[in-house]
């Protein structure tokens, strides 16, 4: 081959160069899209929803699943209890002035689906729905989803409190635009606010809930920041993941933060605390994650106890306007003498037995609704031979007919 021919053979062709450049750009775009998708999965609890669905799909165990449900609402409410206790000595007028900062909402408590027989059997138990919604703004109305649903069951004789976290994808009857249909319970709030959520809970679980407390998920960020940060001990396995969670939480909340660069005990801000509580991918998985939630709670309690009355006052001014409830101020005031004796004795996830199904969307099907409700009443209220209401029986049969799941 001539020298000229060799040079031509070795020279890259123009079209091949263009093709290579194009491929590199396409790969870069795909990488960027994948990065954006990875970040988007964290927004508004989507990351947790996806992982929870995987857990549902893989759940074949017959034993009851216990899960600590100390999420955003519980953290804030416990801090508020400390606040009330701390300022109690300053007088009821001061406390009442602070409680008036809470957003109040009126609902029709005669239209929340309480069965008369259930109401009779649950005398002595006060069940309150704690709802965490996914709105970033201070908007607690119709259109938002209740991504966190916790039932706080108070035994009024013993002051023992048990917490039940209802999985948001649970397949039950929900009123949507005036029509009853099987859907995810998280959609109840979107179609009718707290009142509609209480109706779905009462009818599906045979409960007597007439009271609720609603907070925005981002409120925990504000709570920690209002406390001046909290102290957490971060190990090497957590450091590996926490900064991705910090970026995602900061992006979804609109609150800026910084990366954590070392292990050990350190002061963290609100975004960092939320990110820490969301870490799953370490030894212990979801159980370790719930332990981190307890760590955040404990750290907040410890910090709150060190605040002066003036600092507690500032904390109240920041946090209380972010809470919405139908519990009257005088009702809250009436609870103050008993607050010190309240004891959270147990927390669990519900339904205990669940199976995933994809219809128009993915749903967590209680298998069966009736047996799950029987077990719930045994755990919460000590009712050994509980017989469910006709409403639960009918709903349970409708779910079986729709999904074919009987075990």
Residues 31 and 153 in one domain: no
| Residue 164 located in a structural domain | yes
User: Could you tell me the CATH number of the domain that includes residue 205?
Assistant: 3.30.420.590
**What range defines the domain where residue 23 resides?**
3-37
Query: Hey, what are 380's tokens?
Result: 């919460």
Can you tell me the mean pLDDT for 358-377?
95
Per mean pLDDT, which range of 236-250, 260-274, 309-323 is the poorest?
Answer: 309-323
- 180-186 long-range contacts (CB < 8 A, ≥24 apart) are 182/398, 182/399, 182/402, 183/363, 184/361, 184/363, 184/364, 185/146, 185/149, 186/145, 186/146, 186/147, 186/149
- 44-47 long-range contacts (CB < 8 A, ≥24 apart) are 44/134, 44/136, 44/147, 44/217, 44/252, 45/134, 45/147, 45/148, 45/217, 47/248, 47/278
Residues 321 and 175 in one domain: yes
Residues 28 and 83 in one domain: no
Predicted confidence (pLDDT) per residue in 131-161, tens digit: 877 554 454 445 455 567 889 899 999 988 8
Q: Percentage of the chain with pLDDT > 90? A: 42
Angle between helices 309-319 and 92-99 (to 10 degrees): 30
Confidence of residue 50 (pLDDT cuts 50, 70, 90): low
Residues 101 and 30 in one domain: no
* Per-chain mean pLDDT for the chain: 78
Q: Give the pairing of strands 362-366 and 354-358.
A: antiparallel
Can you tell me the mean pLDDT for 347-359?
89
Highest mean pLDDT, choosing among 17-26, 36-45, 193-202 = 193-202
| Residue 296 located in a structural domain | no
| Residue 118 located in a structural domain | yes
Q: Give the pairing of strands 179-184 and 171-176.
A: antiparallel
| Residue 11 located in a structural domain | yes
| Residue 149 located in a structural domain | yes
Task: Please indicate whether residue 305 or residue 367 has the higher confidence score (pLDDT).
Answer: 367
Under 8 Å between Cβ of 133 and 216: yes
| Residue 364 located in a structural domain | yes
Q: Give the pairing of strands 125-133 and 146-155.
A: antiparallel
Examine the pLDDT at 274 and tell me if it is beyond 50: yes
Residues 107 and 209 in one domain: yes
- Cβ neighbours around 161 below 10 Å, total: 18
Task: Please indicate whether residue 216 or residue 58 has the higher confidence score (pLDDT).
Answer: 216
Examine the pLDDT at 286 and tell me if it is beyond 60: no
Model pLDDT, residue 35: 45
Residue 146: strand pairing partners:
133
Examine the pLDDT at 55 and tell me if it is beyond 70: no
Total-model pTM: 0.71
Residues 91 and 177 in one domain: yes
Under 8 Å between Cβ of 154 and 126: yes
Residues 28 and 96 in one domain: no
Residues 316 and 384 in one domain: yes
Residues 191 and 95 in one domain: yes
> For 136, which DSSP code?
S
Q: How many structural domains compose the chain?
A: 2
| Cis previous bond, 250, omega within 30 | no
The full DSSP string for 56-70 is HHT----SPPP----
Residues 26 and 86 in one domain: no
Model pLDDT, residue 60: 41
Per mean pLDDT, which range of 64-68, 123-127, 280-284 is the poorest?
Answer: 64-68
Residues 19 and 140 in one domain: no
Q: Percentage of the chain with pLDDT > 70? A: 70
Model pLDDT, residue 388: 98
| Residue 43 located in a structural domain | no
Interatomic CA distance for residues 147 and 144, integer angstroms:
9
Residues 215 and 331 in one domain: yes
Query: Hey, what are 228's tokens?
Result: 């001046």
Examine the pLDDT at 75 and tell me if it is beyond 90: no
Task: Please indicate whether residue 310 or residue 84 has the higher confidence score (pLDDT).
Answer: 310
Confidence of residue 91 (pLDDT cuts 50, 70, 90): low
| Residue 258 located in a structural domain | no
Model pLDDT, residue 183: 96
Model pLDDT, residue 285: 59
> For 366, which DSSP code?
E
| Cis previous bond, 351, omega within 30 | yes
Interatomic CA distance for residues 150 and 156, integer angstroms:
18
Interatomic CA distance for residues 209 and 126, integer angstroms:
8
């Amino acid at each position: 081959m001539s020298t000229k021919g060799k040079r031509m053979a070795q020279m890259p062709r123009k079209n091949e160069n263009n093709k290579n450049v194009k491929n590199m750009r396409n790969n870069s775009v795909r990488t960027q899209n994948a990065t954006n998708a990875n970040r988007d999965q964290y927004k508004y609890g989507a990351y947790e929803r996806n992982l929870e669905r995987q857990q549902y799909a893989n759940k074949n165990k017959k034993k009851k699943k216990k899960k600590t449900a100390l999420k955003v609402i519980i953290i804030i409410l416990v801090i508020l209890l400390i606040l009330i206790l701390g300022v109690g000595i300053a007088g009821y007028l001061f406390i009442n002035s602070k409680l008036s900062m809470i957003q109040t909402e009126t609902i029709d408590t005669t239209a929340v689906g309480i069965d008369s027989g259930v109401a009779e059997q649950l005398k002595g138990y006060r069940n309150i729905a704690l709802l965490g919604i996914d709105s970033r703004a201070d908007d607690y109305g119709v259109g938002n989803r209740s991504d966190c649903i916790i039932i706080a069951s108070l035994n009024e004789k013993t002051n023992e409190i048990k917490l039940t976290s209802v999985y948001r994808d649970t397949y039950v009857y929900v009123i949507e635009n005036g029509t009853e249909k099987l859907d995810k319970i998280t959609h109840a709030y979107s179609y009718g606010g707290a009142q509609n959520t209480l109706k779905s809970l009462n009818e599906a679980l045979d409960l007597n809930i007439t009271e609720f407390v609603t907070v925005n998920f981002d409120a925990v960020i504000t709570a920690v920041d209002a406390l001046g940060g909290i102290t957490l001990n971060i190990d090497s396995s957590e450091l590996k993941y926490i900064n991705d969670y910090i970026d995602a939480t900061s992006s979804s909340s609109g609150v800026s933060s910084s990366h954590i660069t070392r292990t050990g005990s350190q002061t963290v801000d609100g975004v960092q605390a939320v990110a820490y509580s969301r870490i799953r991918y370490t030894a212990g998985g979801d159980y370790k994650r719930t332990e981190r939630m307890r760590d955040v709670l404990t750290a907040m309690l410890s910090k709150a106890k060190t605040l002066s009355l003036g600092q507690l006052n500032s904390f109240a001014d920041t946090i209380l306007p972010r809470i919405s409830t139908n519990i009257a101020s005088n009702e809250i005031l009436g609870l103050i003498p008993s607050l010190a004796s309240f004891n959270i004795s147990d927390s669990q996830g519900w339904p205990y037995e669940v199976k995933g199904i994809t219809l128009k969307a993915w749903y967590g099907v209680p298998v069966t609704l009736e047996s799950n409700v029987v077990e719930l009443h045994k755990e919460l209220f000590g009712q050994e031979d509980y017989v469910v209401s006709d409403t639960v029986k009918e709903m349970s049969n409708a779910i079986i007919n729709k999904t074919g799941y009987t075990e």
